[in-house]
Amino acid sequence: MKDTKVIILAAGKGSRMQSDLPKVLHKVEGKAMIQHSIDKVRELGIDDIILVVGYKKEMVREAVGDSVKYAVQAEQLGTGHAVMQARPFLEGFDGNVVILYGDMPLINPETIKKLIEARESDDVKGALLTIVLDNPPDFGRIVRDDAGRVLRIVEMKDCSPEELAIKEVNVGMYCFDCQELLAALEGLSNDNAQGEYYLTDVVGIMADKGLTITTVTSDTLEETLGINDPHHLEFAESLADIRYAESLYELIDATLAMQRRS
């Protein structure tokens, strides 16, 4: 792989968690969600990690330590704005930039590796993780042309009825060519339903320049789970119970427990 930096977005409060604790410090399997993301990146041998922090940033720094770099998003103006805060660490860098969310503790390191490999093939400038579902959640839709070329990602609140019918959705994991990412960030606008700077708009900006954007399909629903409220947290713990079941009976018990919690 080329030189790779990883940005992990970890600035949000997570008000739906019903807690004053920063969202990414809630624990899954006894470990803070943000630490899961960091550890899985390091499994790939990548040590250049930038956390974008905001809400109770000192608490996050104390929990994670000085083995990563920090960028501060003082105002929550969207995911694109969050990545903009990491620009000082990206200037002059000629390599890959992986972008992850700190509330997705079940991501698979192999999937991150696939994204990087996809970005590095055939002059591709961006790769994003998608999943195809019959009844997709409120994720951004992947809009393609008749030839299958990725044109843009449209956030659910901005979708037309036709776009809402699209089954392929954005999971929220990316790998971009660093310099093309920086150029695209300059073109972001907050003229949308939420008045925010969407990271997803980077894809459309690159595609409009004629750059190639590719996709990697997630192998499992599990790794696409973002933890947004206490129910999601309980569900993630249930998945862990199932994963580590040592017998058929333990698997049945864990599955039934997950159904009860959901």
Q: Cα separation of 180 and 73, whole Å?
A: 22
Q: Cα separation of 182 and 202, whole Å?
A: 9
Tell me how far apart the 2 most distant CA atoms of the chain are, in Å: 55
- Opening angle at CA 175, ends 32 and 198, nearest 5: 80
Active site residues: 16
Six-digit token string for 168: 């392929």
User: Would you tell me how many other CB atoms lie within 10 Å of the CB of residue 123?
Assistant: 8
Nearest C-alpha neighbor of 197 from the set 77, 100, 84: 77
Residue matched to tokens 């991501």: 107
Q: With residue 80 as reference, give the H or E element that holds it.
A: helix 79-84
